[in-house]
Structure 1
């Protein structure tokens, strides 16, 4: 299907946006009128640039407050339209977006609106232009796409049809199934946006909080299936008003946007196939005249963690922590300054290669998958940047990709039987260490990843579209330096849990690796015997535990003795403690009891305050 995007989605000049859209792989763009007005190139020059870049100019928008007006104002509106159509002809654009009136409408009659749109259609046709009438969610009289379609029907003009915008339809809770009642040839344009679930006025929601498909709460895949069944074969275009995207790098945002459309086409194609519909590869339409949606390789949901990588010029401080926690040194890589520590299925890779002047930080995560080749094909189809990895003869060549935060993600499907049990095949590249029998620590429970405010939505899309992770509702925790936003991405089984954290601007939020264990008290006791001083927990916290959970004095004494934290849900308990951080990284040791499946969110502010005291104490 033809992939398009409104220039309002991106930062930069109009020329910057056109170059970025072409480089990302879009087929066309919508010209947002203010982008043209502030530009110093003529419409002919913009048209020529788009031609050179291989971009079609698909839509000119918006034309506002036209219908439902008095006769004298109608004439003024037709004068405005004539000027805009002249500009459109210079640009070579054949479709104009006309929004339902929000400001000057005084007549709520469908018949009057239709008659006035018919007049506009006559004028537009004389310029070779079509009128796509859109029901704005906050339109004065017309705020429902079904009513805009009734008006277009009454107008009964070959140049007048409708524009369908997913935000205006879904934000009002309208059923998109009615799209199938509109003839495909009368759907002149489609605009797509996702959104978070917010409780606010719809205009503010629209102007500041739209998201690219796959990042919000709406089922846009199902929305697109209604379009296909209606017979629509025109562009699928993104129109996303978002304060973040209009400040971030133009090229990066364009790539991010195209990824969302590729994901959406694949999602809709699969839904159609499940429903017995057609969704062929390539081409404008399938043999039955339907739009053809491009499918990509199947998602290969990770089966678990292969490893977590920490990188620094000097990782010796991390090794001290790992030894205190009971992990085993498994050896040095035979060709690189990289070491492996493990216990059970918890594998920590310490990398000092190309790390000059770098403090310890989370640099990579490896996941086990069923078929790394298929998973890699999907990532490449989604235009994810490959992560370079230099290998020598006989070493495992893992498929790797760069997440929006810069974290490198590698996929592995090769495992070998060893004396320590089944392990990833790459683990045999480490030698001169000890055998890695499991102690109390059995695996990696979850990993907390920090990134900037400008990367969060892109990161959510990366992990859902590439790896098929789920995205439960985001939470917030209050720290001494502001709110930390957290969203846990996970596999349905919980084998992989990634907590994506957005810290306050200018704050270096620690990242941590949570190690699962069978006996957190034993791990904490051994660690203290080996010199670990865990993050100190204030007595006020334990007093609060007594009030919240009614814990007995023996349990509270045990928790205090080892600086353990505690939580309880309806299905189980959660015991855990934290190490001080080394560089930007710390470790958490966790024990889940029963069916506990959350993350002790009420304990996070306690941790943030304790870490802040430690940081201030070392200045």
Structure 2
């Protein structure tokens, strides 16, 4: 099925939008009326430009407030329609989107509405144009797709059909199974959009929070399946209104849009791209820093040992249990300090993982590889983090660890050596640029096959901290995607590595004895914890002494503590008991406030 997108879904001029849409691989475009009106290009110019780019003009939209009006308004509406028909003929568009009326002059009279829609279709037919009638979710008298179809059916004109819009249908909790009762040839167009599940006015929800399929919580794939079963074979077209997309780079947004359509087709069984290869865990986390000495000290205090040096690059391998951290002394801005630049993902089939990523338009990271280095492919996540597909220590696939020569462990003077009980990487948290957050959620869901959890808004000293986690089915790989505000309006680009232990009290004591700077926790937190959970006083005293935070749910418990931040990076140590799958969200406010205090020197 052809892939299309409405120009309203992107930022920029009409010419810029068309260029971005074509570059992303779309075959068609909906021209939004305001984009044409504001453009210096004539309709003929737009038609020629679209043709040069290989884009079909699928639809012109919207035409508003037409049906079920008194005779004097009908004459004015028909005059408006004739003007639009003339523009469409110049534009080369043969389908006009007509939205159900929101006008206070419209009357609740289905027979009158059908009669006037028939008249409009008859006028359009004389110009070789068809009418796609759509029910707006906030329409004055027509607000559901089945009501719109009844009017189309009653009007009974070959140039009149219906347009289905996933947001208008699903936002009203209408049952999309009813779409299958509409003859496929009378479904003239299908517009697709997702949205986060929110309790708010549907008009504001639509105008500000629509997103691409797979980025929200609506069952767009199910709706598409019903539409195809009805016999629809027209374009799959995205129509998204979103404050973020209106400010983001058009080219990047168009690629994100195409990725969403590719994933949607797969979910609806309309295509079969390479199957997702779900990562089974973390191979490593790579930190870059111009000066790695502070990181060496922190890793040593955490119980890591330096076990290898890369044979060709300034990279060290540090290990404890199954937790591996690479220290790279090249490429980091000295002013920003250490940065989490790359993550190694254990993959049962790295080659297939790369093919999947390329099919879904993930950029493959160019990598200079020495003659004896293990093949290691990586793709770039939306925030720039490089994701490497690995099979660590396997005999059936080259292991990246073979590129490291053994190295004797070093420890700073006065620091203790030896394990602190850390056994692996529990999760990694990456703070996203605010305008890439939804893109990142779709990327990890579609490219890696991870399961997204519901988005959460958490209190931050300077606003709201938005977080959404993605994970594989057994929780052996978890990534938390965050957007945090800061006083100057820029994203607080902190990143952290969460390490796991089976005895957090022993680990915290050992780490503190080894000289690690841990994040202080206010006494008020423990007073509140005592009131909330009624923990034994001895346990509460230990938590207070060591700066351990606590959370629990019906499945288990979560205990964790944090190190101080180096540059943009800090470590978390966690212990999970039972079936707890969260991240201690209740404690995020305390952590964020403590980090802001440390960063800005305020109390």
Q: How does 1:253-332 map to 2 (within 5 A)?
A: 253-269=253-269, 293-332=270-309
- Equivalent position to 1:376, from 330, 354, 367: 354
What is the aligned partner in structure 1 of residue 233 from structure 2?
233
- 1:15 to 2:10 alignment: no
What is the aligned partner in structure 1 of residue 414 from structure 2?
none
Measure how far apart 1:508 and its partner are: 2.4
- 1:58-93 per-residue CA deviation (whole Å, 9 max, x = no partner) reads 000000011101112111111110000000000000
What is the distance in 1 between the residues matched to 2:598 and 2:137? 50
What is the distance in 2 between the residues matched to 1:515 and 1:164? 48
The worse-fitting range, judged by mean Cα deviation, of 525-534 and 399-408 is 525-534
Q: Which runs of 4+ in 1 moved over 4 A?
A: 434-439
Measure how far apart 1:479 and its partner are: 2.4
- 1:310-338 per-residue CA deviation (whole Å, 9 max, x = no partner) reads 11212221111110010111111000001
> RMSD over aligned Cα, in angstroms?
1.9
**Residues 325 and 524 of structure 1 are in contact (CA less than 8 Å); yes or no, is this contact kept in structure 2?**
no
Change (3 A) 1:105 1:376: farther
**Residues 345 and 390 of structure 2 are in contact (CA less than 8 Å); yes or no, is this contact kept in structure 1?**
yes
- 1:221-269 per-residue CA deviation (whole Å, 9 max, x = no partner) reads 1111111111111100000000110110111111111110111111111
- Equivalent position to 2:576, from 592, 603, 618: 592
What is the aligned partner in structure 2 of residue 552 from structure 1?
536
Q: How does 1:185-200 map to 2 (within 5 A)?
A: 185-200=185-200
What is the aligned partner in structure 2 of residue 84 from structure 1?
84
What is the aligned partner in structure 2 of residue 534 from structure 1?
518
- 1:272-329 per-residue CA deviation (whole Å, 9 max, x = no partner) reads xxxxxxxxxxxxxxxxxxxxx3321111111111111111212221111110010111
Q: How does 1:394-543 map to 2 (within 5 A)?
A: 394-413=372-391, 415-416=393-394, 425-434=399-408, 440-504=421-485, 505-543=489-527
Change (3 A) 1:618 1:157: closer
The worse-fitting range, judged by mean Cα deviation, of 505-514 and 132-141 is 505-514
Secondary structure, counterpart of 2:452 in structure 1: coil
What is the distance in 1 between the residues matched to 2:91 and 2:553? 61
The worse-fitting range, judged by mean Cα deviation, of 62-71 and 560-569 is 560-569
- 1:81-106 per-residue CA deviation (whole Å, 9 max, x = no partner) reads 00000000000001000001111443
**Residues 65 and 104 of structure 1 are in contact (CA less than 8 Å); yes or no, is this contact kept in structure 2?**
no
- 1:18-53 per-residue CA deviation (whole Å, 9 max, x = no partner) reads 000000100010000000001111100111001111
Question: Aligned pair count?
Answer: 592
Measure how far apart 1:363 and its partner are: 0.7
Measure how far apart 1:597 and its partner are: 2.1
Measure how far apart 1:617 and its partner are: 3.5
Change (3 A) 1:305 1:424: farther
**Residues 67 and 105 of structure 1 are in contact (CA less than 8 Å); yes or no, is this contact kept in structure 2?**
no
**Residues 480 and 609 of structure 1 are in contact (CA less than 8 Å); yes or no, is this contact kept in structure 2?**
yes
What is the distance in 1 between the residues matched to 2:298 and 2:420? 15
What is the aligned partner in structure 1 of residue 98 from structure 2?
98
What is the distance in 1 between the residues matched to 2:462 and 2:168? 37
Q: How does 1:23-422 map to 2 (within 5 A)?
A: 23-269=23-269, 293-357=270-334, 359-413=337-391, 415-416=393-394
- 1:411-466 per-residue CA deviation (whole Å, 9 max, x = no partner) reads 1246337xxxx998111211232599976111101111101210100000000001
What is the distance in 1 between the residues matched to 2:507 and 2:568? 23
**Residues 96 and 132 of structure 1 are in contact (CA less than 8 Å); yes or no, is this contact kept in structure 2?**
yes
Secondary structure, counterpart of 1:415 in structure 2: coil
Change (3 A) 1:574 1:434: farther
Secondary structure, counterpart of 2:394 in structure 1: strand
Q: TM-score, normalised by structure 2?
A: 0.95
What is the distance in 2 between the residues matched to 1:359 and 1:343? 24
Secondary structure, counterpart of 2:490 in structure 1: coil
What is the distance in 1 between the residues matched to 2:277 and 2:223? 24
Change (3 A) 1:430 1:618: farther
Measure how far apart 1:354 and its partner are: 2.9
**Residues 103 and 140 of structure 1 are in contact (CA less than 8 Å); yes or no, is this contact kept in structure 2?**
yes
For structure 2, the 5+ residue unaligned runs are: 410-416
What is the aligned partner in structure 1 of residue 586 from structure 2?
602
Secondary structure, counterpart of 1:102 in structure 2: coil
